[in-house]
Amino acid sequence: MDTVLVLDFGAQYGHLIARRIRECRVYCEIISHDTAVEEIAARQPKALIFTGGPASVYESGAPHCDPAVFSLGIPIFGICYGMQLMAYLLGGEVSPAERKEFGRTEINAATDAPLFEGLPRDLVGWMSHGDHVLRVPDGFRVTATTRTTPVAAMADVDRKLYGVQFHPEVVHTPWGADVLRNFLVNVAGCDTSWTMGSFVAQSVEEIRREVGHARVVCGLSGGVDSSVVAALVHRAISDQLTCIFVDHGLMRKNEGDRVAATFRENFGANLVYVNARERFLKRLAGVEEPERKRLIIGEEFIRVFEEEAKRLGQVDFLAQGTVYPDVIESGVGNSAVIKSHHNVGGLPERMHFRLLEPLRALFKDEVRHVGLELGLPEDIVWRHPFPGPGLAIRVIGEVTEERLEILRNADAIVVEEIRRAGLYRDIWQVFAVLLPIRSVGVMGDQRTYEYPVAVRAVTSDDAMTANWAHLPYDVLERISNRIINEVRGVNRVVYDITSKPPATIEWE
């Protein structure tokens, strides 16, 4: 199986690059930028890809790779920081740009260049950089420019070294997959036979090898990630697995009963149902800062799992539905911490389990395809993402039972109306948020002073970037009217029209 190695320089989009490569049906792995060149050579990769990153290549302490990689004779593709680093290490010039480029940008490409084969000259792609390549190294040719960037792409065809300043991996560069495919297939000669079916087969063997005869508990939330993990681990080790559903009091309306019923209908594994509402809400009392909420919830989950595992006997592993957006936002390598996910940055330093996270390198859409490969029903596979901390990060500020009840009722109306309009499968995620302020209103000729509710709906392919969903006005009107008329304590509904970036999908 041909392998492409992605050298990570701290990019927020690092695993998105890997995902696009896998969409081309080419197997890839992400490794650290400082991996020894001897180790890279021993892996015999068909190609190397340098990711972007937040640093400037000319600054002290900026992440670099060993320049000897350019002497291995392996095709290399640098993206954003990766192109700048290639230029810098090979004798070109990189400097701060007089005008930074962020967002959609018009690009003029050389159609005779290998990367742009089959594409028009005038393109629109996604830029995100403050530095630029001012002069390319000897042997390189400039193959694309923008109005303010003299080198938007460069190539040394003889040495099979390529670089682009734009981000071909994001959906906002709609032709980016063509550029990557041109590099992988036409330049590097990669075989395109890797599929989610092969991922399942490989993961089953890896789980069996790692677990052996040990017992595993799986934190089951009812969402697609944890459900797919449960099905995958169960296929690998059968009765060695016990699933634990923890009702932490932060679930949506009637969710606990629905999850338990769905699990028993579709899974053959053992299920333990734990009512831990009181202990979670007690720990969260008076807490307003979102990072503290996440850390508290993450630790409390582990403590519940440990207590239940003791009742089961000797349990060595905890299986989790961790996916890569959880990891990247929690901060990995040189990446910034956006927010600590309860199952990553929110984990306690000391715990009695070894983690089993077979989906850690996958994005949500890939996880859905794994679920279909495993035969899970569509209502589980296509369920909208729901965060592990639950409504605790959708009640902005302090979490109380009163606020949770208001939000549960409002959120149920939002989802019900989206389903009624036939839009559920068209939207990546839709939910309500309770704001920690009061606004003045009038109902029945009486002054009210109640909470506002924000409605958030986004479209996305991978959760790394997202656009706000352009919901029909009549749907928004029904949602607003129903929430205000049916949910006691709310007198105003607002709609969030912010994309990611600059916002995240969740408010906390």
| Per-residue pLDDT tens digits for 32-56 | 999 999 999 999 999 999 999 989 9
Residue 88, CB-side half-sphere exposure with 13 Å CA sphere: 21
d(CA 223, CA 227): 6
Give Cα 469 distance to the centre of its chain: 18
pLDDT of residue 246: 92
Which 3 state secondary structure label does DSSP give 16?
helix
pLDDT of residue 350: 66
Q: Which fold has domain 3-187?
A: Rossmann fold (3.40.50)
Of 54 and 348, the one with more pLDDT:
54
pLDDT confidence band for 394 (50 / 70 / 90): very high
Contact residues for 87 (Cβ-Cβ < 8 A; gap 6+): 93, 94, 133, 135, 136, 137, 140, 151, 154, 163
Write the burial class of residue 335 (CB in 10 Å: 0-12 exposed, 13-18 middle, 19+ buried): buried
Contact call for residues 340 and 346 (beta carbons, < 8 A) = yes
291 catalytic? Reply is no
Choosing from 80, 190, 218, 243, the catalytic residue is: 80
Domains 3-187 and 196-381 share a fold: yes
Choosing from 167, 234, 341, 342, the catalytic residue is: 167
Contact call for residues 303 and 279 (beta carbons, < 8 A) = no
Domain at 196-381: CATH code: 3.40.50.620
Write the burial class of residue 96 (CB in 10 Å: 0-12 exposed, 13-18 middle, 19+ buried): exposed
pLDDT, one tens digit per residue, over 184-214 is 999 999 999 888 888 899 899 999 999 999 9
Stated pTM of the model: 0.69
What is the pLDDT of the chain when averaged over all its residues?
90
What percentage of the chain has pLDDT greater than the value 70?
95
Token pair in block for residue 10: 């701290």
CA angle 347, 353, 359 (to 5 degrees): 70
pLDDT of residue 341: 43
Mean pLDDT of 470-474: 97
Mean pLDDT of 215-219: 92
pLDDT of residue 340: 44
Residue with tokens 């639950």: 390
pLDDT confidence band for 338 (50 / 70 / 90): very low
pLDDT of residue 329: 57
Contact residues for 183 (Cβ-Cβ < 8 A; gap 6+): 47, 75, 77, 114, 115, 162
Say if strands 429-434 and 76-79 run parallel, antiparallel, or are unpaired: unpaired
132 catalytic? Reply is no
Of 94 and 334, the one with more pLDDT:
94
d(CA 255, CA 223): 11
Q: Identify the CA nearest to 178 among candidates 187, 200, 57, 191.
A: 187
pLDDT of residue 458: 97
pLDDT, one tens digit per residue, over 98-148 is 888 888 899 999 999 999 999 999 999 989 888 899 999 999 999 999 999
Choosing from 169, 299, 366, 508, the catalytic residue is: 169
Mean pLDDT of 266-275: 84
pLDDT of residue 197: 87
pLDDT of residue 158: 96
Residue 264 one-letter amino acid: R
pLDDT of residue 337: 45
What percentage of the chain has pLDDT greater than the value 90?
69
The domain 394-495 is placed in CATH, from the list 3.30.300.10, 3.30.70.260, 3.50.50.60, 3.90.330.10, at: 3.30.300.10
pLDDT of residue 348: 55
Mean pLDDT of 331-359: 60
- CA 99 vs CA 92, 146, 149: distances in Å: 20, 11, 8
Of 295 and 345, the one with more pLDDT:
295
- Residue 109: what are its φ and ψ, rounded to 5°? -110, 150
pLDDT, one tens digit per residue, over 149-169 is 999 999 999 999 999 999 999
169 catalytic? Reply is yes
Give Cα 24 distance to the centre of its chain: 19
Which 3 state secondary structure label does DSSP give 61?
coil
pLDDT confidence band for 328 (50 / 70 / 90): low
Question: For the chain, what are the domain ranges?
Answer: 3-187, 196-381, 394-495
Interior/surface letters 208-237, b for 16+ CB within 10 angstroms, e for the rest: eeebeeebbbbbbbbbbbbbbbbbbbbbbb
pLDDT confidence band for 335 (50 / 70 / 90): very low
pLDDT of residue 339: 44
